[in-house]
Structure 1
Amino acid sequence: MFSTSTSWTSLPQEMKLAVIESLSLQDTRALSLVDRSTYNACLPVTFKDVKIDGYSALLNFLQNVPRNYLSYIRTLQLSTQSQQPTSFHLITEQVTSLLISCPCMEDLTLRLAGSLHHTLVSCFSLLSDLKNLTICNTAMEDISPLSERFVVFIAASVPNLQTLTLDRISRSKLHATDLNTVFPYVPLVFDDADIPNHPILGSNLYLPSLLRIPTLRELTIRETHLGDPRWATVPVACRLEVLDLGSCYHENEDFNRVCIERIMAAVGRTVDVFSLETAVSDTVFAKPSVTPMQRLRKLHISPFFPVDNVVDTMSNLAGSPIESLSMQCFEDDVVDMCTALEEFLSLRVERGPDFYGKLSRIDVAVTAQDGVPPTVDDDAEAIDERLRATKRLQEFCHDLRLASYFKNAVPLLTGPSRGRSSSFSVEPRWPSIQSVADGRGRSMTI
């Protein structure tokens, strides 16, 4: 009986790629030092998922990474935060240079420290593979707002955009004249009139025009003023399946509720998954024959949702065929949330099979806020009270033959989770890209 062995270098390229894709990023880096051929084989995995932590890191990246390597990028997380005062024209130039070199990018997260120059928007029409886009303003909205006109132009320019997440986007004075010099104060953008007309949307670059993007399937908007009445009148060209709406901290709860109900009524007919942060009081959603959310299967309630409104809101959404309910709450709200869910389930029993008859699962998660896990409370009585409340709710779910799951210390849901990525920060000094021969020599440091 004979055994044969095959060297790594003699393996077909497809087999090498299969091996490399199963490795951690650290192991991939180590493997890339074997020889030049292996180094080249590792490039698609090394650059598949890239994170650039700030403007200095962006300059470092562009100066040291060959442009042809950028075609391997599939997921990019980019921050424009700068430690030194920098012209937004210069930042725009560098960001544009990077984006136009990533033709195969599928997932892009832009964490912008305020607005960039409107010339950036031109490169997005070239990103035909881009499916998922996140734009977040990390600067103080009062000082460096990010205009709705800017982000709507970008989103509407992406040829095949499916998932859009917006965070802390500011209204434009051009589209929100009713908010100028009135109480409560809402930050407005005054200098965005130079943003050109969009080929399809024209000058109508207000947030409701997002519903005119035909490819859009998932929409998330957080910490953004949603009071534009055109949400109810704009022609809807998309078939949204996932809708996640947050509230505007400049407005009160009732105002935010009206805004969200308006958007629900406009797009709810196709929504399958809905994330809710404010109460719903419009009873039209409770009637199966007239509710606009006739396909809603999964409902998620955020930890910012007012606990006192859980039962009423669930009752008002009874017209939808909800099968799964997931709830996040902060540690201090565990007992109250469990009590509210028990009241809702008791109401379900009382009203019979026509009231949430398709509900089959309830999940509750204790949420870590801003990356800080729930504290270890020294008060044994408080801990016991929370444990008793969750156990009582679980037993109630079991009696009703509902699946349930309770989890502690989960992160606050702020967007899609990320896998492994190459992180580029200010600190590393980038070596030149050199040939690696016979296992000796230097590889690019990531």
Structure 2
Amino acid sequence: MTTWHTLPTEMQLAVVDNLDVADARIFAAVDQRTYAGLRARPLQGASHIDLQRFLENVPRDYCRHIEQLDLATDGARPSHAEDVQELISLFLASPRLSQLELRLQGSLHPNHLTIRNCTEETVLPLSERLVVSIAASVPNLRHLSLDRISRSTIHAPELVGAYPFVPLVRGDGNIPEHPLLGSELCLPSLLSIPTLRQLAIRDTHLGDPRWATAPVACHLEMLDLGSCPHEPEDSNRLAIERIMSAVGPSLSSFSLATSLSAPMFAKQATPLPRLRQLHISPYFPVDEVVDTMTALAGSPIEALSVQCFSDDVTETCGALEAFLSLRVQRGPTFYEKLARIDVSVAGGEDAQTFDAERARATKRLQDFCRDLRLTSKVVKPRGGDRLRSNSCAF
């Protein structure tokens, strides 16, 4: 005798697709197997408790069938960190999700926002207009992190068909005007968010000239800028120098992935008068360390953190020694505030493979720092370590 549980999956899905929401809820209460059979239906109006029950009862593998998701947080309680983890768990398990609606009781996190395009932007680009609109709509946004955001042809028509062919978004003119920014939803408009204190943008084209002219309503304390993989080094450098000049007066921490050469940063009237913490990422060209540090000599930098790949340890320590030698030659006014230099090794290589040459290089650097009365620490790789993000944390 044929029963519901003996029907082929395709027939079960066909039946489920014809149920309205009320009938589907009743049908789902029959037993756990039937509840699991509704996995491919859109989750509509699901509360926090509904989401918990769904994740507890439905095999994770079934979530790959979810195409539409409609979630509402419980109005009787504010959103908590566990809500975020449950949402992330569901999103990661739902690769076919094409329509998402969130009705939230306040923000999932009132101060932090991270938007990352996890797909190749040449295939599925994520528009700067959408990202800027979302960021400007978050109340009291203080920390914003963006990865692999694509420029819009509306704001970057000069890039259309131009070498080196930066991936662009077309057809995003239907994104509505923002109450604060209007139609100017380009990346430089992020500086108009008055509460913003920390900004990280990586793997994104930063060559918009409006970074130099956009109104700056925020007081950025930390800036983390990565290079655009589609642009040459000189273009990335000029773009980053432009942004640094725009937000420099309030900046205390900065993460650098490309070299600097602008002489204005080395002068006493530097655009970075409060910069005290500098982080150099592992993607930074090692042979540019001395020149870049010289270019930033006008800032009162107290702590320098350098992250490098294991293969670059010897060269990195040598570059830092060359910088310290230059500091000795220039006299007490050259980096007079510098008190600490730390080196960390990125990647998953085990510390046991940290050969004698690299060990000698780190010891020479630490001995040199000790002679100059500088605090220094070298963090060697541990098995299973992953490359951390370019952060200005000290």
- Contact kept? 1:165, 1:415, Cα under 8 Å: no
AA of the residue aligned to 2:78:
S
Correspondence 1:143 to 2:117: no
AA of the residue aligned to 2:322:
E
C-alpha separation in 1, matches of 2:119 and 2:147: 11
Please name the residue that 1:103 is paired with. 106
- Contact kept? 1:70, 1:101, Cα under 8 Å: no
Please name the residue that 1:123 is paired with. none
* C-alpha displacement of 1:161: 0.3
* C-alpha displacement of 1:85: 4.2
TM-score by length of 1: 0.69
Please name the residue that 2:24 is paired with. none
Do the aligned partners of residues 235 and 72 (structure 1) sit closer, same or farther apart at CA in structure 2, a change above 3 Å counting? Answer: closer
2:81 aligned to 74, 84, 88, which one?
74
Instruction: State the Cα deviation string for residues 272-317 of structure 1 (Å, max 9, x = none).
Output: 00000000000110012x2100000000000000000000000000
Please name the residue that 2:267 is paired with. 287
* C-alpha displacement of 1:136: 0.2
Correspondence 1:374 to 2:363: no
Please name the residue that 2:182 is paired with. 202
| 1:4-403 → structure 2 map (5 Å cutoff) | 56=63, 67=74, 71-74=78-81, 76=84, 78=88, 80=91, 85-86=96-97, 88=98, 90=99, 92=100, 96-97=101-102, 100-103=103-106, 105-106=108-109, 130-288=110-268, 290-368=269-347, 373-375=348-350, 383-403=355-375
AA of the residue aligned to 2:317:
C
AA of the residue aligned to 1:388:
R
AA of the residue aligned to 1:146:
L
* C-alpha displacement of 1:191: 1.7
C-alpha separation in 2, matches of 1:298 and 1:359: 10
* C-alpha displacement of 1:67: 3.6
AA of the residue aligned to 1:347:
L
* C-alpha displacement of 1:166: 0.3
Do the aligned partners of residues 416 and 393 (structure 1) sit closer, same or farther apart at CA in structure 2, a change above 3 Å counting? Answer: closer
C-alpha separation in 2, matches of 1:400 and 1:55: 61
C-alpha separation in 2, matches of 1:66 and 1:149: 27
C-alpha separation in 2, matches of 1:55 and 1:276: 43
Taking CA–CA contacts closer than 8 Å with sequence separation of 6 or more, which of the two structures ends up with the larger relative contact order? Answer: 1
Instruction: State the Cα deviation string for residues 124-171 of structure 1 (Å, max 9, x = none).
Output: xxxxxx101000000110111100000000111112000100000000
C-alpha separation in 1, matches of 2:359 and 2:335: 27
- Contact kept? 2:125, 2:150, Cα under 8 Å: yes
AA of the residue aligned to 2:299:
S
* C-alpha displacement of 1:414: 2.2
- Contact kept? 2:255, 2:390, Cα under 8 Å: no
Do the aligned partners of residues 414 and 307 (structure 1) sit closer, same or farther apart at CA in structure 2, a change above 3 Å counting? Answer: same
C-alpha separation in 1, matches of 2:264 and 2:227: 21
* C-alpha displacement of 1:102: 4.4
AA of the residue aligned to 2:374:
L
AA of the residue aligned to 2:297:
A
Do the aligned partners of residues 234 and 299 (structure 1) sit closer, same or farther apart at CA in structure 2, a change above 3 Å counting? Answer: same
Q: How many residues align?
A: 330
AA of the residue aligned to 1:412:
L
Do the aligned partners of residues 263 and 396 (structure 1) sit closer, same or farther apart at CA in structure 2, a change above 3 Å counting? Answer: same
C-alpha separation in 1, matches of 2:261 and 2:169: 32
- Contact kept? 2:272, 2:299, Cα under 8 Å: yes
Correspondence 1:412 to 2:392: no
Q: Helix, strand or coil: the match of 1:71?
A: coil
- Contact kept? 1:308, 1:340, Cα under 8 Å: yes
C-alpha separation in 1, matches of 2:214 and 2:62: 37
RMSD of Structure 2 on Structure 1 (CA)? 3.0
* C-alpha displacement of 1:408: 1.5
* C-alpha displacement of 1:394: 0.4
Do the aligned partners of residues 82 and 191 (structure 1) sit closer, same or farther apart at CA in structure 2, a change above 3 Å counting? Answer: farther
TM-score by length of 2: 0.77
- Contact kept? 1:55, 1:81, Cα under 8 Å: no
- Identify unmatched segments of 5+ residues in structure 1: 1-42, 107-129, 418-446
Instruction: State the Cα deviation string for residues 193-215 of structure 1 (Å, max 9, x = none).
Output: 10000111110000000001110
- Contact kept? 2:278, 2:301, Cα under 8 Å: yes
